[in-house]
Amino acid sequence: MASPIADLTYRNYDGPLEPPINRWWAIAKLSMKLSTKKKGFWAWSTLSAFWYIILLIFFYFTETVVSNVGAVGQKASPINNLIWKDQFLNAFGESQLFLFILALLMGAGTIANDNRAKALLVYLSKPCSKLDYVIGKWLGIFVPMTIVTAVPALIFYMYCLMSYRSAGFWTQDPWLIVRLLGMILIPGTLYSSITLAISSMFQQGRLAGGVFAGVYFISYFITLAMEGAYVSMSMGGSNPPGIVKGLFYCSVDGLQAAMAKIILHTNGSPKLPIPGGAKFQVPEPSTFIFVPAFFGVCALSLLIAWSQIRAVEVVR
């Protein structure tokens, strides 16, 4: 018989419970919720699209100028000489620093802070496994990272598809959209793996962040040094040896650039339409070395993370 006054003391939960498998989605969801709450996330995400914006402004002005001057024929517009996929490559290259900062923001602390807060005790006392945890954390970085890379690229693609079919946008490479979808996955895949590995080795998010930044910058210096060497050799008229081209891609940024060039199948072209600038571009690297290298780095990182995450400290 129902009493008019409800019993508000403790009651058990008897609502629906999903079977205790695949809890990773809950973990990924929370990771994303927490990252997107940070102001920095939105600021750096927006900034990462800046090259697309510059391109749009450039296009706008060129067109205005061309139509106003009028006398100059359509052929003379620099837009007609563009290699379209290289515009995506350049925008990607320009966004790399920002994507790194995003990775630092989202990923560096992800496991390290959990270690500090002993959050694993919470995770593992619930029906979720170490695999759920790793997958969840990985997706928690991968998904936002990929979306941040994808949104401006796809918007730019749509814009170009509408406006510049006459300038060869479609005919240059009809498969561009497929290649783009591949390129978009690169930073998410690499960064979520690397940050998980580094983060899992530390108890403090800041230390993990410091080390991640160290790895990024030191390897970035290699790329910079090789670029300097490549450009100066090319200017001097000599053909830079293979090692220079190879090492150019041996950094966190370089590896992504290598993958992007392989996927887009291009050597790249200069950011500003300088005649003859193409010879300063480090050419597309070997698919057979860098595709396995890229996935090797990801796999190795995940392996490190897997071995570092421990369910319980064994108290002797």
Partner 1 sequence: MITATNVSRWYGQVIGVNDINCEIGPGITALLGMNGAGKTTLIRLITGQLRPTTGDLRVFGLEPFANPDVYRRMGYCPEIDNFYEHYTGRDFVRYLARLDGMSASVGNARTDEVIDMVGMSERANRKIAGYSKGMRQRIKLAQAMLHNPDLILLDEPLNGLDPVGRREFMDLLGGLADQGKAILVSSHILFEVEQMTRSLLLLHRGRLLATGDLGVIRSLIDTHPHQIRIETDEPRRAAALLAELPNIVSMKFDRSGDAVQLEVREPAAFYDALAAAVLEKGLTIRGFSSPDNNLESVFKYLVEA
Partner 2 sequence: MSVATIQNLVVRYGNFTALNGLSCEISEGCTGLLGPNGAGKTTLIKTILGFIKPTSGTATVLGYDIEAAGTAIRQKVGLMPEQDCHIPGTTAVQFVAYAGELAGMPGDQAIRRAHEVLDYCGLGEARYRNVETYSTGMKQRIKLAQALVHGPKLLLLDEPTNGLDPAGREEMLELVRSVSHGKGLSVIVSSHLLPDIERVCDRVVVVMQGQLRAQGTIKDLKKIEGRPVDIELRDPSPAFVTAMQAQGAVVMPPKRTTYRIQLPGLPEEVAKIAMQVARDSGAQVRGFVIAERSLEDAFLEAISAK
Partner 3 sequence: MEGAIFMQAVRENLRFRRVIPWLFLGGVVVLGFAMNWETFQPGADKESQYAAVSSIFVFHILALISAILTSTILNQEVENKTIVYLLTRPVPRWKLLFFRYLACSLVVAALASINAVFASAGVYHGLSGNSFLIKDIAALTVGAFAYGAFFMLIGLLFNRAMIVCLLFAFGWETAVPNMPGQMSYLSINTYLQAIAQHPSTGSNKGLAALSAALGENSISTSTGYITMIVFIVVLVVFGAGWFTHFEFLPREDAE
Contact status: 313 vs partner 1 (CB under 8 A): yes
Residue 114's binding partner among partner 1, partner 3, partner 2, none (Cβ under 5 to 8 angstroms by kind) is partner 2
CB of 175 to partner 3, least distance (A): 35
Which residue, among 139, 175, 142, has the nearest Cα to 157 in the 3D structure?
175
Site for partner 3 contains 47 (CB under 8 A): no
- Taking CB under 8 A as the binding criterion, the range among 102-110, 184-192, 235-243, 308-316 that sits at the site for partner 1 is 308-316
Residue 118 C-beta: closest distance to partner 1, Å: 11
- Should residue 118 be labelled a site residue for partner 1 when binding is judged by CB under 8 A? no
Nearer to partner 1, 71 or 315 (CB): 315
What are the residues whose beta carbons fall under 8 Å from the beta carbon of 292, sequence distance 6 or more?
A: none
Diameter of the chain measured on Cα atoms: 96
How far, CA to CA in Å, does 184 sit from each of 146, 154, 265? Answer: 6, 9, 14
Q: Is 244 in the site for partner 3 (CB under 8 A)?
A: yes
For partner 2, the closer of residues 30 and 243 by Cβ is 30
Q: Cβ 59 to partner 3, closest distance in Å?
A: 30
> Helix (H, G, I), strand (E, B), or coil: what is residue 26?
helix
Q: Any residues with CB less than 8 A from the CB of 74 and at least 6 apart, and which?
A: 66, 80
Token pair listed for 149: 């890379």
Indicate whether 18 belongs to the interface with partner 1 (CB under 8 A). Answer: no
Whose structure tokens read 């160290």? 214
Say if CB 164 and CB 72 are below 8 A apart: no
The residues, any chain, with a CB within 8 Å of residue 111's CB and separated by 6 or more, are: 137, 196, 199, 200, 208, 305, 308, 309
The alpha carbon dihedral of 178, 102, 216, 196 has a sign of negative
Which spans of this chain sit near partner 2 (rule: CB under 8 A)? 9-21, 23, 26-27, 29-30, 34, 109, 113-114, 116-119, 121-129, 311-312, 314-316
Instruction: Pick what 218 binds: partner 1, partner 3, partner 2, none; C-beta below 5 to 8 Å, kind-dependent.
Output: partner 3
Residue 312 interacts with partner 1 (CB under 8 A): yes or no: no
Residues that bind partner 1 (CB under 8 A): 313-316
Binding site for partner 3 (CB under 8 A): 204, 206-207, 209-211, 213-214, 217-218, 221-222, 224-229, 231-233, 238, 241, 243-244
